Each structure stands twice: as C-alpha cells, then as structure tokens.
Structure 1
C-alpha cells in the first residue's frame, strides 16, 4: 500500500518505505532539508518537504486562525536558529514554498486516524473511516485554464530564436564558438589565442542590450496575465522589479545546451566565458552554470517552465506591495497547479521529488539574483554608466 506523500504524518512510519528509518535522506542518499527553515526534514507535510517544527507551527497557525504582524519590513530571514524570532515571516515562508492549508486535518479526523493506527497495532480489523488525500491528480478546469493563459502569454512574448535581437553591434574582437564545441573552464581563459581574446568589459554593451531585450519580454509576459493586470500599477512595478531577473534566467534555461554548457540564442552562442569578459566574477558565474545544468536536467515541459515564471512573479513578500493577500492567493493557485501538473505528467518514481527540487532551485535562484545585482552595480562603478540601459538600471535599482 502506498503511503500518501501529502498526509499530515510523514511516510517514515510506513514499513514499506524505501527511505531511511529517520526519513532524513532521499532515495539518492542526500539529506533532506526543510523548505522553510533549512533544518533536517522528516518528510512531506502539507504538500512540502519540512521539519517537524515547521509542520507543527503551520498547523497550529492555520487551525487557530492567528494573524501575525512583522515588527520589521516583512523580509526576515527564516533559518533554523531564527525561525522563532518572527512568526509572521515564518508563516509567509510556509505559504511561499507551497504548504497547503486545505491539507490540514481536523481534530476529529486526527482522532479517527489515531484510533485506526491503534486498532492495526492490536490486530483489530474493524473499519474506521478516516480522511485521506485523494489519489486523483487530474487538473481542474481552472488549473487547465491557468496553464493555457500562461502558455499563451509566454509564446507570444518570448522569442526563443532571438530573431528580434539584432539591433546591437557585436564587439569587434568577439570570439564566437561553435555550438558543438564544449566550453573550456573559466580558469583556462588564457588558452585563447591573443588575436581573438577580447578585452575585459568588451562584452558589457552586448550584455546590457541582451538583458534589456529579455527584460522587455518579461514585462510583456506579465502584462498578458489578467491577474497581474488587475493589480495596482505600483504593485505591478514592485513585482517586476523583484522577479524580472529571476524570470529571465528561467527563460534563458530553455535555450541552454547542457552538453556544450552554452546558451544558444539563435545564430549566436554564449558561454560563461562571455560573462567573464563582461566583468562578472567566478563567485557568480560558477553557481549560475550549476543552476542551469541542474534545472535543464529535470527535463521540464513548457507548462512547467511558464508556471515557474508565474510562481516567481507573484511573490507576496516584496516590501512595497499593497495587495499582499491577492498576490498570495494567486501564487498559491499557481503552486498547486504546478504540483498537480507534475503529479499527472511525471508519474512515480521519476517525479517523486521533482516539485521539491524545483522549490530548492528557486531558492538558489533568489541567491543568484542578489549576487547578480551586486556584481552589475560593481561593474558599472568602474565603467561608463551609459552602457547600462535605463530599463536595466530601473530593474536593479
């Protein structure tokens, strides 16, 4: 009998589970971590891999209907050591990683479940009716419509061939590599022939133009989503400022070739060496490459890519948003749709940890965005600021 992955108690108590007896490692032997605080996780609780502490905290908060208030700026860092310092931000983190209120069982349902377990231990086969999550993973009509809207918005506003990106002047000494050739590591830059090695920062104008081109596509993608257009303009701006660079990376992953470690943008091919020539440092470029390799290996469908983009866009934890509840509700719908789609289109065992892996990669992406912004500002501190387009400057301000 398969143990439901979204039940209130984790699957670690099932005698047929293939995980360790403590439930803290996955099938690959990697230690599981709580998506909320980073502590050691014990399994899936309310739809998300969490520890017992965050599982209990989320359940108590929802059942009691408590309304927390952050005494700071609603952007507190939630870690194992700091998770008790701000209940408001901890609860928001629970929601943002995908924990579901509707998965919480009532006290009566819990009582029936405990009675059922007790009977099993005593050898009593009398039936006890208890609540269990439905095994049907089919998408609802509302979820299918959401995917259709997002997919249409993506197709209309993302030029995967980069055919429209032709207004820039490529650097005179730019070295174009063949898409079939494997990119050399960053520390082998000196192996390029001197006559084709561009000066550092020679790729900077191209980077600024390419970033602006992709930012414009993200803005048009967002504007094509009705629930985004319905928000106040200030909230729209705040969401775009907070999410655009992350969405660009998700879109960029769709043209990433993991065999060559290159981004194939139509007739042009870019590698992390080009990023180094724009002035970016290894501390950003190496994790960036690792992120794209990891995301590409998941073999996501187009629907999953667009749902990821929307999940990042509708983030209620930005400081300046006013319609926080509406944004939170939209993000929750997107997260549930993504999980349902994965459950339907990626059957077990292959899709077992796919949703959890995506959430972890989104956390990595947030860290990459912070470092990316820091390095852009650092680069332009030493360069002519005219190379930064007004739109790029506005996004990272």
Structure 2
C-alpha cells in the first residue's frame, strides 16, 4: 500500500510538471523561443519557480481588481500575480511539485511504467477476486485446466486402451512404472526426457489456475515444486 501511495504521489508530480510546461507555453513563449530548447526550458522553469516561491514563502498576493479575469501571457504575466498564481493552480501545479522539484526523464519513465504496471496488477487482482468468490465458476476453471493439460484423463486412457487392443502385440497391463516400463537401465538424459512432458503438464495446469499468475516468481516456483 505504501508503494502504491508513493507511486500515486510521484505521478501527481509528473502531471504537475507536464501541465506546467503547457502553462508556460500558454503564457507567452513565442514560436522562436519554443524552438530553442534552452529558451523553452527557461520559460517552463519561470512559471514553476514563481509557483514554488509562492507556496514556500506563503505569499499573499493583492486581490485582482479585474474580477480575476486577467489574461496571463508571457509579456504581461507580472501585472497580476494573483491571477498568475490562480492559473498555475488551474493547470495542475501542486505542492508535490514544490517538494520534489523537477523529475528527470528516466525517473519519469520509470514512474509511469510502475504506475501502469500497478494499475494492471490491480485490475487482475480485482478480476481474480471476483472469480474466486464464484465457487461454481472457479471449480469449472480448475476442471477445465485439468482436462486440457493431463494426458491420463478417463477419456484419453480409454482411447489409448482401444488403440492398444487393436495392436497385434497388445498384452495385458502389468504392475510397472508407466514412465519406465522397460527393465533395462536408461541414461540420465533419457530418464529426464521421460519426465519432461509430465513437468510441462504441471506448469501448464498451474498457469490456468485463477490467480496463479498474480504470484511472484519465487512463489510460483515453490508451488510448482511442492506439487510436482
């Protein structure tokens, strides 16, 4: 929960910074200025600096004498500080932006990616929770996962036995390991190959269980090993 709160807080900072750039563009940066990266950065920082000083110093500006309807442009933005501060707030600047300051591009990308992942995880968790509360649906999903991944279901075994009976060399079943019916010793590689499809079946079955994909990689591995 703390991590999610921090991500939301940092996300609000990004929104504030992006809105601040748009606000500074609306505040009178000409096309020549905005085409120059250095001038554009200075223009954006001017508005952010004004807002930061206003908040940190708790400045009380003189009320607007024009019904708070001043048009704030770059050439006249200092005429009415009251309306300028009001516009900063209107475009989304917040105290979080004052506290954190500018956010580097890499940090911005990391925060946005984390926010997107967090949002996606919450959506999956909500969907899984709803499905887990529906017992008949959950049971149906588990049964379907078993039928789709197990090689020895009743119907498949019946089909195997039917094909075996049609074979001239068919013999009655004996007490032998189904993975190693031959008495001769096998190499370690051959032994592992016989188990590979069984392990794959366990992995595929687990992946189809509702909520399993929400576990961490370590938890997934532990549960697969304890149930193999």
TM-score scaled by length of structure 2 = 0.30
Higher helix share: 2
Structure number with greater Rg is 2
